Amino acid sequence: AISFDISKLETLFSIDEQQCPSTNTSTTELKTPKAASILEPNRANNVEIMLRSFQMNHVEIKNCITQMDIQTLGAEKLTTIQATLPTPEELSLIQSFKGVKSELANADSYFLTIAYVPLLNVRVTSMTFKATFPHKIR
């Protein structure tokens, strides 16, 4: 039979806890703070995709909507904006957010930016109709 010296194995293969960095502190230090999101994850993801495809910042989009600038946005972007407009419930949640606005996720920040456009839904709907009307009558 083979005999093992357990104490010798422990000294050869054990790790000194003082030399090993604590896993609790290293994992918490590496975590980045997550942006606050009020929207549902799928909804926020769809809005994020739309925003990335536009290559415009939130204020530029808001200004185009406010000024009813159909030329800059175009029919395709307007149709996409109309499809992703915030619901009344989402607007209420965004407008009642009491935290730090700069810590909001990108989609939430976009909704907050456009939330105060007067008659947002009517404005975007009419812009979309005007932009797509020539294609509809052909």
- Per-residue pLDDT 10s for the chain (138 aa) are 677 777 777 777 777 666 555 555 444 444 445 677 889 999 999 999 999 999 899 999 999 999 999 999 999 999 999 999 999 999 999 999 888 888 999 999 999 999 999 999 999 999 999 999 877 776
pTM: 0.71
Q: How far apart are CA 52 and CA 48, in angstroms?
A: 6
Instruction: State the pLDDT at residue 28.
Output: 46
Q: How far apart are CA 108 and CA 103, in angstroms?
A: 10
